Amino acid sequence: MTEFSLNGARLTALPSGALWWGAPRLLCVSDLHLGKSERMARRAGALLPPYEVAETLSKLEADIAARRPAKVICLGDSFDDLAAGYGLDEGARLRLTMLQAGREWVWIEGNHDAGPVDLGGVHLRDLALDGLVFRHIAAPNLAADCGEISGHYHPKVRLAGQGLAAFLLCKTRLILPAYGAYTGGMMADRAPLQGLMGPRARALALRAGRVLEMPL
């Protein structure tokens, strides 16, 4: 785990790729991409073993059991497309229902799942909360006193020849890694990410159950 501040909020990057905000007991995850294997098979793409939904939900269950959040924010692209969301099997739906029980659950709209599905929770385009704004895709220009939390890019960094999922952090914004299984990534030295991150940006790389801080 690695703790840091963003616009006055004390946050923790978890080795799973989730973000924890202790004061409001808030857990945030991004880019679950549930149903990716089904969507690829439906569109005659590569055939992947259909286990990513169960694997991703198991990881989310573990984080929720450990932290017991009062609110969970899924930061967009929770489903690989809307059909994948509607097509979840009953077992996965039951697991999501159990995870939602007794807590607030917010689905932020993503570019893959632009609209609500027939699951519980609140569906929003973005959410402002105590000095932070949660959205799927980072806004190109932010005020100096802003704190933005986003996903979408599935950022990765290279360490000892290995590509690692990573949080990217600068003074005004945090970009979360993809939380779901079967998700690829964009290296942090690519132009879209370099253009978003400010001076003295850092990467919080995920490796073997640890969070490793390094300059971006």
Give the whole-angstrom CA distance, residue 93 versus residue 78.
Answer: 13
Q: Which residue has the higher pLDDT, 93 or 167?
A: 167
Residue 108 tokens read as 């932020």
What dihedral do alpha carbons 22, 80, 108, 106 form, nearest 10°? -60
Q: Which residue has the higher pLDDT, 16 or 119?
A: 16
Residue 214 has pLDDT above 70, yes or no: yes
**Whole-structure pTM value:** 0.92
Residue 48 has pLDDT above 90, yes or no: no
pLDDT in tens, 182-202: 677 899 999 899 999 988 999
Residue 180 has pLDDT above 60, yes or no: yes
pLDDT in tens, 108-149: 999 878 777 888 999 999 999 999 999 999 998 887 778 999
Query: For the chain, what percent of residues have pLDDT higher than 70?
Result: 88
Return the minimum-mean-pLDDT range out of 17-21, 83-87, 97-101, 208-212.
Answer: 83-87
Cβ neighbors of 12 (< 8 A, separation 6 or more) are 1, 2, 3, 4, 19, 20, 21, 22
Mean pLDDT (whole number) for 74-79: 91
93-102, Cβ contacts within 8 angstroms, sequence gap of 24 or more: 93/119, 95/57, 95/61, 96/57, 96/120, 99/57, 99/60, 99/61, 99/64, 99/72, 100/72
Residue 47 has pLDDT above 50, yes or no: no
Roughly how many angstroms between the first and final C-alpha of the chain, as a whole number?
18
Q: Which residue has the higher pLDDT, 146 or 20?
A: 20
- Domains annotated on the chain, with CATH: 2-215 (3.60.21)
Instruction: Classify residue 110 by its DSSP letter.
Output: -
